[in-house]
Structure 1
Amino acid sequence: MSVTAADGFEAAGVAVGLKSSGNLDVAVVVNRGPLKVGAAVFTSNRAKANPILWSQQAVQDGVVEAVVLNSGGANCFTGSFGFQTTHQTAEKAAELLGVGSADILICSTGLIGTGDEVFRAKVLDGTERAIAAASADGGDAASLAIMTTDSKPKRSVVTQGGWTIGGMAKGAGMLAPGLATMLVVITTDAVLDASDADAALRRATSVTFDRLDSDGCMSTNDQVTLMVSGASGVRPARDDFADALTQVCLELATQLQGDAEGASHDISIEVVHAASEPDAVEVGRSVARNNLFKAAIFGNDPNWGRVLAAIGTTAAQFDPYDVDVWMNGVRVCSGGGPDASRDDVDLTPRSTRILIDLKVGDASATILTNDLTHDYVHENSAYAT
């Protein structure tokens, strides 16, 4: 059910020809209330798509009536025409729902730099058709409509204490923080005000989506939206809601990692005993973005020297000659020198765990990444053809 698992929401996915495959390509998620609270976080890329520019302004009052999403075109670097398309999409949705256009968020995903009158007409038609089709059973169709190079939809639902959180996500490439490239819509029927929703969303994304770093490439269209209907009538404790929201975000982030373009290994890089959490994140990310390390994992080669070389480029506090490294449970490096034989390490499973012990403090962090494969290079060499 994804985004319609929580009471008070309707959704739909329709096909209007934005994708050459003919698959579903326009989705809507509508909040029927009684609350119409919303919060969102966006890409930190300075190059932002038109829907991001629109939604950043629209969400500022903490009210979100609906989200309209399209795949098959990013509507980024399409000039004033592209922004007008976004504006007209919001106006179309608002007219059909009887609400203000400033309370409609817009999301787009697909190829950057393309957009014309045909694209606009299809998006507007899809908006009208999706709103007409929206229902409490439409969550799964909506999650299919936002897919691009994804091989499967990403969904998560958590229910506790009489309230529910449901979410859907898309993303398979350009997975790197601020945020990882994605469109995500999360709904809840819990009772929350705008400030609590915003705080919980930022707390959850900071330790989930922002730590998914599959290929080091940051998108122009990232948006994670939280919509609150309050339909359950239950106001959860702030920490309880934030923890449940973090669980949903982590499940979605893990599904994104598992569907990353061309990947053959899902790599978890856990950094422990760091002087600070930012240090742990910096060290983990330095490994996640190291192409030599990622290529070694693709080849099932436990080349721990590439781990030490990568973390040595950081400003984090540690002694590079007193670091331990484990690969899939085998300590291959102790105190900056060789430990167990590389022959003891089995890297053939898709799930790969790297543990780095910096031995200087009590902080830790985990970064999620993937290996660098021939398939990744091939897929991205032909993305626009």
Structure 2
Amino acid sequence: MSVTAPLGFEAAGVAVGLKSSGSPDVAVVVNRGPLKVGAAVFTSNRAKANPIIWSQQAVQDGVVEAIVLNSGGANCFTGSFGFQTTHQTAEKAGQLLGVSAGDVLICSTGLIGTGDEAFRGKVLEGTEKGIAQLSADGGEAASLAIMTTDSRPKRSVVTRNGWSIGGMAKGAGMLAPGLATMLVVITTDAVIDAGQADAALRDATRVSFDRLDSDGCMSTNDQVTLMASGASGITPDFAAFAGALADVCADLARQLQGDAEGASHDITIEVVHAASEEDAVEVGRSVARNNLFKAAIFGNDPNWGRVLAAIGTTAAEFDPYDVDVWMNGVRVCSQGGPDASRDDVDLAPRATHLLIDLRVGAATATILTNDLTHDYVHENSAYAT
């Protein structure tokens, strides 16, 4: 049930014609309490969609009563009309739910730069229709409604000692870090306050969504939201809650990676023995964004030279002639020179593991990415048609 697995939440997913396919395209998730705690992290892209601008202000008081999400239109670069659409959506939801519009977050996903009266009308219709269909079983429908180019919904639930966390996510392209990746809604019935929610969410996204770098393209609409109802009546140890939240975020991030547009390999880049975590992240990301490396993996070519060339562009502390590189368990490079034969590396499986040993410290980091394929280029060349 994803977001309605924890107690105190209702959700719905409805179709109002935003998608040409006729599939669900507006989702509503409502926190029935008794707590109405909320926290969110947003894209760091300076080009922000209208829902991001709204939600960044609305969440500042740590109270979130509901969230309305639409697919089929990003409502980004749509001027004052677009912001008015976001405002009216929150007002509509607030009116129907009997809550303040300022406690309603808004998310949108789809094509940038499009929006008219028909779009606004459908979003408002979907908000009304969704609220009318709210139920404790509506989490699955909501997870379907937020999909765009996704081939499948992403859901995750963990249950602990009397409390739980549930989540849903959408994302298949424009997956790059910057506090959050695409649209994610997470709910919990644990008793936590706004400060704890914010701290735990930022810690969890830092090592999950912020480490997903599928194609190096940062969206204008990225948002991860956490809502806490306290309906379980249980106050967990903060470390236990933070760990469970990190597990949900990591699971959803992996699902996003596995559904990346056109990908044929899911690449896990593990950097070990770095001087600092920042260095490990920088090195891993340099490889994740290297098109030559990603194209080589698509061609099942264990071209480790492209790995060293990529990490050599970073400011991380290491000696490029004292680095080891492993591909799917085979050490192809030892201390900056050839080791095992490339013929020993099997890159046929979708799961691909790259291990980079910098041999200078004790810090590690893992970055998730995908290969660069013909299908990815084709899908994104025709996205707006």
Superposition TM-score tier, normalisation by shorter sequence? over 0.9
Write out per-residue CA displacement over residues 76-116 of structure 1, whole angstroms, 9 at most, x where no aligned residue. 00000000000000000000000000000000000000000
Q: Counterparts in 2 of 1:292-311, with a 5 A limit?
A: 292-311=292-311
SS at match of 1:137: coil
* Alignment correspondent of 1:157: 157
SS at match of 2:249: helix
User: Would you identify which runs of 4 or more consecutive aligned residues in structure 1 move more than 2 Å?
Assistant: none
**Which amino acid is 1:217 matched to?**
C
**Which amino acid is 2:371 matched to?**
D
* Alignment correspondent of 2:267: 267
Write out per-residue CA displacement over residues 152-173 of structure 1, whole angstroms, 9 at most, x where no aligned residue. 0000000001100000000000
**Which amino acid is 1:291 matched to?**
N
* Alignment correspondent of 1:26: 26
Matched, 1:89 2:93: no
* Alignment correspondent of 2:55: 55
* Alignment correspondent of 1:381: 381
Query: Are the aligned partners of 2:296 and 2:302 in contact in 1 as well (CA < 8 Å)?
Result: yes
Write out per-residue CA displacement over residues 252-271 of structure 1, whole angstroms, 9 at most, x where no aligned residue. 00000000000000000000
How much has 1:180 moved relative to structure 2? 5.2
**Which amino acid is 1:106 matched to?**
I
Structure 1 vs Structure 2 CA RMSD: 0.4
Query: Are the aligned partners of 2:9 and 2:31 in contact in 1 as well (CA < 8 Å)?
Result: yes
SS at match of 2:59: helix
SS at match of 2:19: coil
Q: Counterparts in 2 of 1:88-107, with a 5 A limit?
A: 88-107=88-107
* Alignment correspondent of 2:339: 339
Q: Counterparts in 2 of 1:186-225, with a 5 A limit?
A: 186-225=186-225
Query: Are the aligned partners of 1:174 and 1:180 in contact in 2 as well (CA < 8 Å)?
Result: no
Change beyond 3 A, Cα 1:188–1:236: same
Matched, 1:257 2:253: no
Separation (CA, whole Å) in 1 of partners of 2:44 and 2:246: 20
Separation (CA, whole Å) in 2 of partners of 1:299 and 1:100: 54
* Alignment correspondent of 2:43: 43
SS at match of 1:23: coil
**Which amino acid is 1:90 matched to?**
A
Query: Are the aligned partners of 1:33 and 1:230 in contact in 2 as well (CA < 8 Å)?
Result: yes
Question: Relative to structure 2, which stretch is displaced further, 69-78 or 177-186?
Answer: 177-186
Query: Are the aligned partners of 2:181 and 2:224 in contact in 1 as well (CA < 8 Å)?
Result: no
Separation (CA, whole Å) in 2 of partners of 1:112 and 1:236: 41
| Alignment gaps of 5+ in structure 1 | none
Separation (CA, whole Å) in 2 of partners of 1:71 and 1:139: 16
SS at match of 2:216: coil
What is the aligned-residue identity percentage? Answer: 86
Separation (CA, whole Å) in 2 of partners of 1:181 and 1:154: 13
Separation (CA, whole Å) in 2 of partners of 1:264 and 1:34: 45
Query: Are the aligned partners of 1:173 and 1:181 in contact in 2 as well (CA < 8 Å)?
Result: no
How much has 1:67 moved relative to structure 2? 0.2
Separation (CA, whole Å) in 2 of partners of 1:278 and 1:46: 23
After TM superposition, the score normalised by the length of structure 2 is: 1.00
Query: Are the aligned partners of 2:180 and 2:205 in contact in 1 as well (CA < 8 Å)?
Result: no
SS at match of 1:57: helix
How much has 1:149 moved relative to structure 2? 0.2
SS at match of 1:239: helix
* Alignment correspondent of 1:123: 123
Separation (CA, whole Å) in 1 of partners of 2:254 and 2:244: 15
Separation (CA, whole Å) in 2 of partners of 1:8 and 1:84: 30
* Alignment correspondent of 1:182: 182
How much has 1:332 moved relative to structure 2? 0.1
SS at match of 2:306: helix
* Alignment correspondent of 1:66: 66
* Alignment correspondent of 1:322: 322
Change beyond 3 A, Cα 1:91–1:168: same
SS at match of 2:383: coil
Query: Are the aligned partners of 1:262 and 1:376 in contact in 2 as well (CA < 8 Å)?
Result: yes
Separation (CA, whole Å) in 2 of partners of 1:51 and 1:228: 21
